[in-house]
Amino acid sequence: MSDIPKKVHIREEGPREGFQIEPGPISTADKIALIDALSDTGVDHIQTVSFVNPKAVPGWADADAVVRGMKKKDGVEYTALWFNEQGLQRALAHQDKLHVTGALIGSASDVFCRKNLNRSIAEHTEVMRKQAASLVANAVPIRRVGVMAAFGCNYSGEVSVQQALEAAETGMSIAREAGARIEEITLADSMGWCTPARTERLVGAFRERWPEVELILHLHDTRGMGVASAHAALRMGVTSFDSTVAGLGGCPFAGRPGATGNIASEELVLLCHEMGIETGVDLEALIEVGRMAERLVGHPLPSTLLRSGSYQT
Amino acid sequence: MSDIPKKVHIREEGPREGFQIEPGPISTADKIALIDALSDTGVDHIQTVSFVNPKAVPGWADADAVVRGMKKKDGVEYTALWFNEQGLQRALAHQDKLHVTGALIGSASDVFCRKNLNRSIAEHTEVMRKQAASLVANAVPIRRVGVMAAFGCNYSGEVSVQQALEAAETGMSIAREAGARIEEITLADSMGWCTPARTERLVGAFRERWPEVELILHLHDTRGMGVASAHAALRMGVTSFDSTVAGLGGCPFAGRPGATGNIASEELVLLCHEMGIETGVDLEALIEVGRMAERLVGHPLPSTLLRSGSYQT
């Protein structure tokens, strides 16, 4: 039990994940209100918006306006997502509010890479090289490597630990060539294959390979194993998790309609607090924001804890 | 990791739990079809019906007809639930199909006892004495003690390990006076308070107090912690779990409308198989029965795995 950490970082991705996939329309003011409400819950990281082509993701056509409108609270790190040079430039224009660092995100499954990014792993590796060059040219530090489909793939089946390690190695090697020092690796369960056993295998192998790098788990609850997998990871001392309030979001390319996406932040917080792990988050406040998220999107969200409420009697 | 068991018993309670709470009406033939389908999945225990007052639980007015109609498959133990002498006599009339043993079920929370059974713990203790006498008079072996609200209570809040131990001690003591040897203790999370940490505390304390008795966990997923709690219990070597296919059921007295109930059998089976633990259950067959259960009740059921499907690509 001694590996259980004292403090865990909840990386809240509800706004970015949720508003990209919700059929909407959701007003700019409502998006800002959700981010501001999250800022008051005690989470120390919020991924706010996606700077993507409005034609591809209409839900984020107002990304610039959302960042302009949201309040920046001390002690909270606000980030954004982008995929190309244009998106990077939009993010850089908001450095007064956004923490802009670079990440090199690859895929452990070639089929998922094609479905999600419309290119093979080999083609995507070349794209990552260009991304790294662009980040260097813009003086943006490259700090993170990510592995999509690290736990398994709905299109091609099992993904081996070796495939996940290789995907990360590709990113690490491009980062090295670019003179960057990678501090974090995100293992993304893009299609909800995580289980406690898979989590233990992956975390163990990545720890052994890169003992100095912090692991971030991006777990999905698609098959009901998200919280149990987080439990396994916490027992191994993992201290950073992506999650979304109310379970907002889900991957549009996962190939399983109706499947839920990210683990719910409030369930992760309850799990941690019950294990005696600090998160800095006010659980009751976070549940209230989850209810607000349900009102904004206009339908029930996947979080189970949201329906039942916490232990308050 | 050495406490992880080789084999786990899935005690399927979907029919009994589900049909008592579903607004229905569900035909007798459909109830029989679900039980027969479950018999073919490889589960070795099915709780089939509830012999209760049809005025109180109209969904089980046809309990006798269901037992008469269902097929008895070799290797499967079929049980039923009852609460009084009349129910016991109905169960005894079906001993050709039902495995009839006695259980003494108490509550760790006085308020829940009043809400659920309309009497205090002290009053219920007297009822349990009468139940024990009736079981003895009918030559029904008393084999199990149960503790409702063992993990916490939506009405009165925290339930201490000590309260749960005391509730079990009451049952154990009545069993002793009746000359019975208790083989199993069920810890029931009646209102969905389980978390991995609470599970570890309870299992640890009960193991220490009654090392020779097998623990059965009846976990609810009301707050999203059901599967994670099962994971914690499996790591401690717990080998018996109550669960319901598709997550059928839920406690009508839990005081949280819309809250989900039991952990879904198929999620528990996936969790076990991924940990290398045998269940004897064909996961794909069980998922198909879950889909059948959704068709019978006519609305989506809580299981997350049911929506996504297993890892078959």
Can you tell me the mean pLDDT for B16-33?
91
- Does residue B253 have a pLDDT over 60? no
Closest in B157, B227, B271 to A311, CB measured: B157
Architecture of domain A102-243: Alpha-Beta Barrel (3.20)
Closest in B195, B303, B311 to A157, CB measured: B311
Find the catalytic residue in B113, B153, B251, B272: B251
Q: What is Dmax (Cα atoms) for chain B?
A: 56
Predicted pLDDT of residue B24: 74
Can you tell me the mean pLDDT for A270-276?
97
Q: Are A249 and A189 in contact (CB under 8 A)?
A: no
Spatial neighbors of A37 by CB under 8 A, at least 6 apart, are: A288, A289, A292
Chain A CB within 8 Å of residue B195 CB: yes
Query: At which residue do the structure tokens 């290789």 appear?
Result: A166
Predicted pLDDT of residue B224: 94
- Sheet order of strands, B45-51 included: B77-82, B45-51, B9-12, B240-243, B214-218, B184-188, B142-148, B102-107
Closest in A156, A275, A305 to B224, CB measured: A305
Query: At which residue do the structure tokens 């260009």 appear?
Result: A130
Chain A CB within 8 Å of residue B251 CB: no
DSSP state of A84: S
Predicted pLDDT of residue B50: 96
- Does residue A253 have a pLDDT over 70? no
- Element containing residue B287 per DSSP (H, E): helix B283-297
SS3 for B208? helix
Burial A124-154 (b: 16+ CB within 10 A, else e): bbeebbebbeebbeeebebbbbbbbbbbbbb
Q: How large is the angle between the packed helices B265-274 and B283-297, nearest 10 degrees?
A: 170
pLDDT band at B23 (very low <50, low <70, confident <90, very high): confident
Predicted pLDDT of residue A256: 53
Can you tell me the mean pLDDT for A186-197?
96
Closest in B155, B270, B305 to A313, CB measured: B155
Tell me the pLDDT of chain A averaged across its residues. Answer: 94
Q: Distance (Å) from the C-alpha of residue A240 to the closest C-alpha of chain B?
A: 18
Predicted pLDDT of residue A56: 87
**How many C-beta atoms surround the C-beta of residue B99 within 10 A?**
12
Can you tell me the mean pLDDT for B208-234?
97
- Does residue A255 have a pLDDT over 80? no
The DSSP-derived string for A150-199 is -S-BTTTB---HHHHHHHHHHHHHHHHHTT----EEEEE-TTS---HHHH
Can you tell me the mean pLDDT for A153-169?
97
Residue B236: list chain A partners with CB under 8 A.
none
Provide the token pair at A180. 């960057």
B70-119: pLDDT as tens digits:
999 999 999 999 989 999 999 999 999 999 999 999 999 999 999 999 99
Count the alpha carbons within 13 Å of B73 in the hemisphere toward its beta carbon: 15
Predicted pLDDT of residue A174: 98
CB pairs under 8 A between A and B: 123
pLDDT band at B256 (very low <50, low <70, confident <90, very high): low
Closest in B223, B227, B275 to A224, CB measured: B227
Helix-strand-coil percent breakdown of chain B, rounded to 5?
45, 15, 40
Q: Are A244 and A269 in contact (CB under 8 A)?
A: no
Predicted pLDDT of residue B260: 73
B275 to chain A: closest CA residue: A197
Whose CA is closest to A48, among A28, A66, A23, A69?
Answer: A66
DSSP state of B7: B
Predicted pLDDT of residue B185: 98
Q: What span, in angstroms and rounded, lies between the C-alpha atoms of B222 and A25? A: 31
CA separation, residue A67 to residues A76, A242, A293, A297 (Å): 14, 20, 18, 19
Cross-chain residue pair A153–B232, CB shorter than 8 Å: no
- Element containing residue A214 per DSSP (H, E): strand A214-218
- Element containing residue A81 per DSSP (H, E): strand A77-82
- Does residue A258 have a pLDDT over 80? no
A138-149: pLDDT as tens digits:
999 999 999 999
pLDDT band at B202 (very low <50, low <70, confident <90, very high): very high
Provide the token pair at A91. 């993010």
Whose CA is closest to B101, among B57, B147, B136?
Answer: B136
Where in chain B are the domains?
9-304
Q: What span, in angstroms and rounded, lies between the C-alpha atoms of B79 and B181? A: 19
Predicted pLDDT of residue A2: 64
A86-136: pLDDT as tens digits:
999 999 999 999 999 999 999 999 999 999 999 999 999 999 999 999 999
Of A281-295, B20-34, B136-150, least confident by mean pLDDT is: B20-34
Residues 210-249 of chain B with CB under 8 A from chain A are 221-225, 227-228, 230-232
Cross-chain residue pair B152–A311, CB shorter than 8 Å: yes
Predicted pLDDT of residue B21: 84
- Sheet order of strands, A45-51 included: A77-82, A45-51, A9-12, A240-243, A214-218, A184-188, A142-148, A102-107
Residue B309: list chain A partners with CB under 8 A.
256
A12-60: pLDDT as tens digits:
999 999 988 888 789 999 999 999 999 999 999 999 999 999 998 899 9
Cross-chain residue pair A270–B230, CB shorter than 8 Å: no
B229 to chain A: closest CA residue: A228
Provide the token pair at B147. 């503790």
Choices 3.40.50.10480, 3.20.20.70, 3.40.50.10490, 3.20.20.100: CATH for B9-304: 3.20.20.70
The yes-or-no answer to whether A1-100+278-313 and A102-243 have a common fold is yes
Residue A225: list chain B partners with CB under 8 A.
227, 267, 270-271, 274
Tell me the pLDDT of chain B averaged across its residues. Answer: 94
Interface test with B, best of A274, A301, A312 (most B CBs within 10 A): A274
Cross-chain residue pair A223–B259, CB shorter than 8 Å: no
Predicted pLDDT of residue A216: 98
Q: Distance (Å) from the C-alpha of residue B187 to the closest C-alpha of chain A?
A: 19
Alpha helix positions (H), chain A: 14-21, 28-39, 63-69, 85-92, 110-117, 121-137, 161-177, 196-209, 226-235, 265-274, 283-297, 304-308
Provide the token pair at B141. 């072996």
- Does residue A252 have a pLDDT over 80? no
Q: Distance (Å) from the C-alpha of residue B287 to the closest C-alpha of chain A?
A: 12
Residue B225: list chain A partners with CB under 8 A.
227, 267, 270-271, 274
Q: Distance (Å) from the C-alpha of residue B150 to the closest C-alpha of chain A?
A: 14
- Where are any strands of DSSP class E within chain B? 9-12, 45-51, 77-82, 102-107, 142-148, 184-188, 214-218, 240-243
Whose CA is closest to A304, among B95, B261, B288?
Answer: B261
- Does residue B138 have a pLDDT over 90? yes
Q: What span, in angstroms and rounded, lies between the C-alpha atoms of A280 and A273? A: 10
Choices 3.20.20.70, 3.30.930.10, 3.40.50.300, 3.40.50.1100: CATH for A1-100+278-313: 3.20.20.70
Cross-chain residue pair A311–B193, CB shorter than 8 Å: yes
Can you tell me the mean pLDDT for A173-177?
98
Provide the token pair at A293. 């998220």
- Residue A282: phi and psi, rounded to 5, are -85, 105
Cross-chain residue pair B227–A227, CB shorter than 8 Å: yes
